[in-house]
Structure 1
């Protein structure tokens, strides 16, 4: 596909997605004089934090550069599903930096290991705290993770923005402070990478608590410790956080929560049984 054809396809795709979104879906009033189907260009520009003229040029197939940060913002504003998001980045000739685009390093053997660890909750995470894969028990430990969009499956994002995840962490305020400090420590070697800058920018925009903790400039190293979670299905869980490193250079690791007592082990076994098919929501 030539660059010119791709620009025209990108413009048409953006227009079609914009016209299908109602103002109510993004929290805007409809108004009595609205004639445009869906959102107006200026509304998409405002919600995506880009200039109206710039966005108009984009829909007019102008030859302009589109950063991955802007593509990410447009995908969120236009409520794109994973397939549509991938199509947007492909048309723009860009690589999607979010974990939704790939799960590098998660082999079939690693997935099998995660399953064998059940009912011990386990997930594969990278140094940015993106959750790349997880087993059945982990899927229902802090929230129904299967219902979270892949691009939002990040421990720092969930800690600061997902109500059920937040309620499940017993020492929530302290955990938020530590997570911000861990993220700053991890980011030292990735300061120029778009995915890291996008993550911090999003957190600063969506969470006042993160902004406050980020400005502390605290640094914390990752290490195993005892944690407590309050699971809505089985109650209080006391576990030891242990990392099993898959690729230290890339920060890929299996994160496990091993029960510290018989009561927690029994409750994790119950949670695993309640989860049933990992494609279903846990019910009592």
Structure 2
């Protein structure tokens, strides 16, 4: 553990973050640049005294849980997070499961696409992030518990009205095949992840279709580039589907755009106004 370098690194990261970056008021008497020590401690769920000792190079080696809290509180990048671990003498562990943490730059990207519906998917096809238009087109994911945001579970186990599988999308059966193959590949990459194992077990127990696809041992299929959503308020919406890989997080950005000048482009514009305010009519 390099206490002096760790102390300097923590202080430098703390001073670069403004209170507004983490949703805190600046206040009229703030003298220190960036966050106060007690604010970092609060965000990291550790005591102010212990954090102060870390910055004074007097603290014992922090645990992995403390380092995870500090990395979250200080909004560290992947490289900075690894550096923090090495300074603390606690080398970072390789990931045991799909990453659920979406980079800030990717979150910002989603909201800079006002005319496109965009989501971020994990390796196990959990919807991790979305913009307003994606929520209006598909579902208000913020209203769902985390387990119900997984699209593999959704396409095989529902809930969905008869004939309206997976938001009524035109390639729902093709997506089901692709998602089973995608999940098998993810299970191969993360054999020790309990969440992936639990998801596979639940699907095998609850869906004969998934079981048949799983037993084929296929791991790849070309995605559909054009699909149509049957939306309950604006009718059919045909979109181009582009998938961008985030290799270092094993995630994908899925972007839906309509052809300029098409009826579907008008429908997306209308959805951007309607939002999710009346989506409960389909429940």
Shared fold, TM over 0.5: yes
TM-score by length of 2: 0.57
Deviations 1:183-202 (A, max 9, x none): 22333211232121111112
Match for residue 144 of structure 2?
148
Distance of 1:211 and 1:147 partners within structure 2: 29
Give the CA RMSD over aligned residues: 2.6
Matched, 1:105 2:76: no
Match for residue 134 of structure 1?
130
The offset of 1:281, in angstroms, is 4.3
Distance of 1:254 and 1:271 partners within structure 2: 20
Provide structure 1 residue ranges, at least 5 long, that are not aligned to the other structure.
Answer: 1-96
Count of matched residue pairs: 181
The offset of 1:221, in angstroms, is 4.4
1:170–1:223 distance in 2 versus 1, CA, 3 Å: closer
SS at match of 1:169: coil
| Runs of 4+, deviation exceeding 6 Å | none
Distance of 1:223 and 1:251 partners within structure 2: 17
TM-score by length of 1: 0.56
Match for residue 229 of structure 2?
229
1:98–1:151 distance in 2 versus 1, CA, 3 Å: farther
Output aligned runs, 1:1-284, within 5 Å: 103-107=100-104, 109-160=105-156, 161-163=158-160, 166-221=166-221, 223=223, 225-246=225-246, 248-260=247-259, 262-275=262-275, 280-282=277-279
Distance of 1:116 and 1:174 partners within structure 2: 30
SS at match of 1:192: coil
Distance of 2:166 and 2:107 partners within structure 1: 26
Match for residue 29 of structure 1?
none
Distance of 2:97 and 2:155 partners within structure 1: 18
SS at match of 1:205: helix
Distance of 1:179 and 1:103 partners within structure 2: 18
Deviations 1:124-174 (A, max 9, x none): 111111111111111132334333212221111111223055251223223
